[in-house]
Amino acid sequence: MTTDVRNFGATRPRDGKLARLLRRIALLRESPVGMIGAGLVLFWILVAILAPLISPYDPNANDFEIARDWYPSARHWLGTDNQSRDLLSRIIWGSRTVLIVAPTAVGCAYVIGCLMGLLAGYYRGWVDLVVMRISDIILSFPVIILYMIIIANFGPSAFNIILAVTFIAAPQITRIVRGLTLELRERDYVAAAKMRGESAWYIMLVEILPNARGPLIVDACLRMGYTTIAIGVLGFLGLGLPPPDPDWGGMVKDSYALMSTYPLMSIIPCMAISSLVVGFNLLADGIREIGLRD
Amino acid sequence: MTGSTKRPVLELVNARISYFTRAGEINVVPDISFTLHEGEALGLVGESGCGKSTVAFAVMNYLGGSGRLTGGRILFEGRDMQKMSAAELRAVRGNKMSMVYQDPMSSLNPVMTVGRQLMEVPIIHEGASEAAARERAIAILKEVNLPDPESVFERYPHQLSGGQQQRVVIAMALMSEPSLLVMDEPTTGLDVTVEAAVLDLVVRLRETRNSAIVFISHNLGTVVRICDRIGVMYAGELVEEGPIGKVFRDPRHPYTRGLLDCIPVLGSDKRSAPLVPIPGQVPPAMARPRGCVFAPRCPHVVPERCSVGDIPTSPAGGDAEHLVQCVREPELPDYRRPQASGPIEAAIEASEPMLSIVHLDKVYRQAGGLFDSAGGYDVRALSDVNLEAQRGTTLAIVGESGCGKSTLAKVLTGLEKATAGKVSLGGVEIGDTAVENRSRAVKRQLQMVFQNPDSTLNPSHSIGYAIARTLQRLKRLAGGLANREARGLMETVKLPADFVARKPRQLSGGQKQRVAIARALAGGPELMVADEPVSALDVSVQAAIINLLIEIQRQRGATLVFISHDLSVVRYLADRVAVMYLGKIVEAGTVEQVFAPPYHPYTEALLSAVPIPDPDVKQKRIILEGNIPSVTNVPPGCPFATRCPRKVGPICDTTPPPELRTPGGHRIVCHIPLEELTVVDPVVKRAS
């Protein structure tokens, strides 16, 4: 009874699915823009994974021997900050914060947004009305103020940042998923599923959601970029991770007062943030491009 | 025909057309030649993917960024289109040649009024004044038979119906008095009665203007109405070309014969003249076979002669007007439409009703706006529908779009609930139960085949999953058993069993529709509802699917409710027919009764509008004026009163007509007495 009919092509080797997935990813090669984006993102993922191996110093250690000579040298390739902490090491370790917090937050937002959007779009009527009005209320607040209220109330921590991002992004995702669901629920295969007696949850999750994946993957990529910016902004406002742990936004904030005298200290974390955001956006463009071709 | 004395408008000389993609050059049309003189109309027919539209775009020299003429010449009024400058091309395109596409909405600018768009043509091309342009725009709207041209002039495209939009597009194409008009499937999206009116318009304009027309269609019937010559295209090649009469009476190319064998001609049915589909598919342009392109699908193929070298185009039987590209042409036997080989079986006359519908109403409540004190209005999609289908027979429901036939299908399948009345399936009442609340037994008994092959299967699921899942749900089969039975069902619908691992996008339209039939068969249904299952398919695929439905019905004794707008298909397939108009049944009876007098005036008009691919058939011409009224505003009397050519008087507008019954069970809902309806001539007659 529980035999998995989904792996129907039993004649095929088990890795057929994985191979097909890899082949789809390999399609990205045909989009130069997407390749650049994927390269940037992959670069930062590798940096985050290998942080303990490649980082030359402890990111929180102050190098008292260099006195006030913060500029790049053979000892500190990117220089140090005003507390004589190695910038390169801080950037490397800071990438971990962003690359853990952003995907987790976007993932949580997607789980909630997809469920709400599916419910609203599939049932319509009063369910739709309630879900969409709640979303509208959340969406009507200025994002920054909402962040500040949430973080200020619950205190700055990685968990609370994820909570805040989820709370703000979920309604936006709900809107997208609802729109896609409204269209997909009218497809004949949904009617066919109803006619063989499938439950509403099965129809929403197995018949409708997989076919909404194209636009959602693109949106998720873009949203990772926005979330990276949001985390940076929170860090800059002092609502990021509590010190002394490195976080890119917080690094920009620390350099704020020295901007005119020692700009390098703010430029480097800014470039890190930008390159990751641009990477996500280009990747989204590339995926959209090959998606259109398909 | 003395075409040679006329001035040639368009000449294609060994034209070779290719598209350039990342994969390299794809040669879509290897070599095509034809000449079109002024006042002539050439119909190009063939299955989809045969290069018809490519030729049309090449004629306009408008192949886009990726297409190019890579050999030969295309001469327009004696001038080589390739050698014209951009400015010359622009002048020729708007002025001397015009094109009409399939979808009128995409040809019209939605933010400009119809009048503005028409006025642009003379203003831009001839530098006409506002006033003069306006006058001409209104005159041309009058000429294409649009009612009240002044008001149409002021309207936006979305405020017009599909048929009116297409007339506006034709008006725009005619505005500059072109010497060449290219029409690419101009009536494909339209209802038959509207299509008939548009086709008549094209014929009339052709006579008055003497324009040459290239008319592209997949529907051989429309070509017979419009054109005097026909070109049959297959895989980018013109395999047969000649005057309509000659090609239809004596088709010399096996592909032309195959096409004719695929289409039901009004008047033939499944018992007397079976449809013979062409096996196989059109080869993709990259994999064109050597020698004759049609050889792999040809019943007359002799490989050592057909697949060796280029096939020359030669006059059929020495007739210079009738050209055929086939080496075996002189030896082919005379063409005869296929006849039933075995004894003709009688129509099944079972008495037990499988489905009975009594006084069925379906009303959609349209919610009013927030500040609307009236609180919305009702849309009566079905009104007092009474029907019966006997076990093992086919009940066809015909009518134009918006007549309620799809709503009826939804009520039967439980996707919508009936507002009033009864629907009983083998004695079980199902009309008031939505599909979620139906018992598994009822779900097994009643399944549906949908219209659109692209939306009927979930693109994320494999074919095998779609069928096996249905078996699991309806028959409670375990996974392994379901998989095995799914393979069995694939065989029933004549698909290779290893297709189960494929995704829908790896299948052609006809194959998808076969899978949909297999899925519907999974529960072993006693009643299958098929909503336009073949209308999106090419004729040869259509024939194969129809044959499959007939075969399955014979094997399993299932009842079929077949919903269609195509009267030829219905005549061929159905045992009983119901004609619907605006949610009401206006005529019902056996297929022989409905397709012969007495007719309801609407049925008569429908029959007269069906394009018949046979130049020897004489058809009465009944042109319906106006459009189908909106379902929100159904006339209180007879629904058809607003367009009826045989209206008796004010009684039609005010009093619902009575139901007239013949002793044979033929029902007609009309104010005209039965005797008077009986004395009309049949609409379709063969010239003897």
CB contact under 8 A, A191 and B447: no
> Per residue in B560-587, pLDDT tens?
999 998 898 999 999 999 999 988 999 9
- Which residue from A1, A6, A195 is facing B435, i.e. has the nearest CB? A195
CB contact under 8 A, A5 and B482: yes
Does residue A4 have a pLDDT over 80? no
Q: Where are the domains of chain A?
A: 30-49+76-293
> Per residue in A170-206, pLDDT tens?
999 999 999 999 999 999 999 999 999 999 999 999 9
Q: Does residue A126 sit at the B interface (CB-CB below 8 Å)?
A: no
- Distance, in Å, from the CA atom of B236 to the CA atom of B27, rounded to the nearest integer, reads 9
Residues in A closer than 8 angstroms to B442, CB to CB, are: none
Does residue A29 have a pLDDT over 50? yes
Q: What is the pLDDT of residue A83?
A: 75
User: Could you tell me if B513 and B543 are in contact, meaning their C-beta atoms sit under 8 angstroms apart?
Assistant: no
In B521-679 the beta strands, taken as DSSP E runs, fall at 527-531, 559-564, 576-581, 584-590, 617-619, 659-661, 667-669
Helix (H) or strand (E) holding B234: strand B229-234
Per-chain mean pLDDT for chain A = 84
Mean pLDDT for B511-525 is 92
User: Could you tell me if B544 and B223 are in contact, meaning their C-beta atoms sit under 8 angstroms apart?
Assistant: no
Q: What is the DSSP letter of A62?
A: B
**Closest by Cα among B103, B112, B224, B99 to B173:** B99
Q: Does residue A198 sit at the B interface (CB-CB below 8 Å)?
A: yes
User: Burial letters for B334-345: b for 16+ Cβ neighbours within 10 Å, e otherwise?
Assistant: eeeeeeeeeeee
Q: From the CA of A282, how many Å to the nearest CA of chain B?
A: 22
> Per residue in B9-45, pLDDT tens?
999 999 999 998 877 888 999 999 999 998 899 999 9
Q: What is the pLDDT of residue A19?
A: 79
Q: What is the pLDDT of residue B467?
A: 94
> Per residue in A64-94, pLDDT tens?
777 667 777 777 777 777 777 888 888 898 8
> Is residue B557 left, alpha or beta, with left meaning phi > 0 and alpha meaning psi from -120 to 50?
left
- Which residue from B415, B458, B468 is facing A8, i.e. has the nearest CB? B468
- Which residue from B413, B452, B480 is facing A195, i.e. has the nearest CB? B413
Q: State the pLDDT confidence band at B67, using cuts at 50, 70 and 90.
A: confident
Instruction: Give percent of chain A with pLDDT exceeding 70.
Output: 92
Does residue B472 have a pLDDT over 60? yes
User: Could you tell me if B248 and B265 are in contact, meaning their C-beta atoms sit under 8 angstroms apart?
Assistant: no
Q: What is the pLDDT of residue A13?
A: 43
Amino acid at A254: D
Burial of A142 (0-12, 13-18, 19+ CB in 10 A): exposed
> Per residue in B528-541, pLDDT tens?
999 989 888 888 88
- Distance, in Å, from the CA atom of A46 to the CA atom of B672, rounded to the nearest integer, reads 84
Q: Which of A109-118, A215-224, B359-368, B419-428 is predicted with the least confidence, judged by mean pLDDT?
A: B359-368
Does residue A16 have a pLDDT over 70? no
Instruction: Give percent of chain B with pLDDT exceeding 70.
Output: 96
- Which residue from B457, B473, B478 is facing A3, i.e. has the nearest CB? B478
Helix (H) or strand (E) holding B665: none
CB contact under 8 A, A196 and B414: no
- Distance, in Å, from the CA atom of A76 to the CA atom of A92, rounded to the nearest integer, reads 13
B657 preceded by a cis bond (ω within 30 of 0): no
User: Could you tell me if B248 and B615 are in contact, meaning their C-beta atoms sit under 8 angstroms apart?
Assistant: yes
Q: From the CA of B558, how many Å to the nearest CA of chain A?
A: 18
Instruction: Give percent of chain B with pLDDT exceeding 90.
Output: 36
Q: What is the DSSP letter of A85?
A: B
- Distance, in Å, from the CA atom of B171 to the CA atom of B175, rounded to the nearest integer, reads 6
Q: Does residue A13 sit at the B interface (CB-CB below 8 Å)?
A: no
- Distance, in Å, from the CA atom of A293 to the CA atom of A288, rounded to the nearest integer, reads 9
- Which residue from B435, B458, B473 is facing A189, i.e. has the nearest CB? B458
Q: State the pLDDT confidence band at A6, using cuts at 50, 70 and 90.
A: very low
Identify the CATH homologous superfamily for domain A30-49+76-293. Answer: MetI-like (1.10.3720.10)
Amino acid at A20: R
Does residue B405 have a pLDDT over 70? yes
For B448, name the nearest residue in chain A, comparing CA atoms only. Answer: A192
- Which residue from B478, B501, B522 is facing A9, i.e. has the nearest CB? B501
Mean pLDDT for B127-143 is 89
Helix (H) or strand (E) holding B359: strand B353-366
CB contact under 8 A, B465 and A8: yes
User: Could you tell me if B399 and B357 are in contact, meaning their C-beta atoms sit under 8 angstroms apart?
Assistant: no
* Phi, psi (degrees; rounded to nearest 5) at B541: -70, -40
CB contact under 8 A, A197 and B436: yes
pTM: 0.85
DSSP-assigned letters across all residues of B553-588: HHHH--EEEEEES-HHHHHHH-SEEEEEETTEEEEE
How far lies A1's CA from each of A116, B444, B464, B481, B482, in Å?
Answer: 31, 19, 16, 9, 10
Q: What is the pLDDT of residue B373?
A: 56
Does residue A5 have a pLDDT over 60? no
Going by C-beta distance under 8 Å and a sequence separation of 6 or more, which residues neighbour residue A153?
none
Q: What is the pLDDT of residue A54?
A: 84
Q: What is the pLDDT of residue A11?
A: 39
CB contact under 8 A, A192 and B456: yes
**Closest by Cα among A245, A244, A250 to A272:** A250
**Closest by Cα among B80, B81, B57, B75 to B67:** B57
Per-chain mean pLDDT for chain B = 87
Q: What is the pLDDT of residue B631?
A: 72
Q: What is the pLDDT of residue B340?
A: 67
Q: What is the pLDDT of residue A138?
A: 92
Two tokens, residue B243: 């005057």
Residues in B closer than 8 angstroms to A1, CB to CB, are: 478-479
How far lies B673's CA from each of B550, B598, B637, B660, B677, in Å?
Answer: 37, 10, 16, 8, 7
> Is residue A58 left, alpha or beta, with left meaning phi > 0 and alpha meaning psi from -120 to 50?
beta
> Per residue in B307-347, pLDDT tens?
888 888 889 888 888 999 998 888 888 888 877 665 445 55
- Distance, in Å, from the CA atom of B168 to the CA atom of B162, rounded to the nearest integer, reads 10
For A2, name the nearest residue in chain B, comparing CA atoms only. Answer: B479
The single residue listed with the structure tokens 């405020």 is: B159
Residues in A closer than 8 angstroms to B415, CB to CB, are: 191, 194-195
Q: What is the pLDDT of residue B18?
A: 92
The separation between the first and the last C-alpha atoms of chain A, rounded to the nearest angstrom, is 36
| Residues facing residue B576 across a β-bridge | B395, B590
CA atoms within 13 A on the CB side of B574: 31
Q: State the pLDDT confidence band at B234, using cuts at 50, 70 and 90.
A: very high
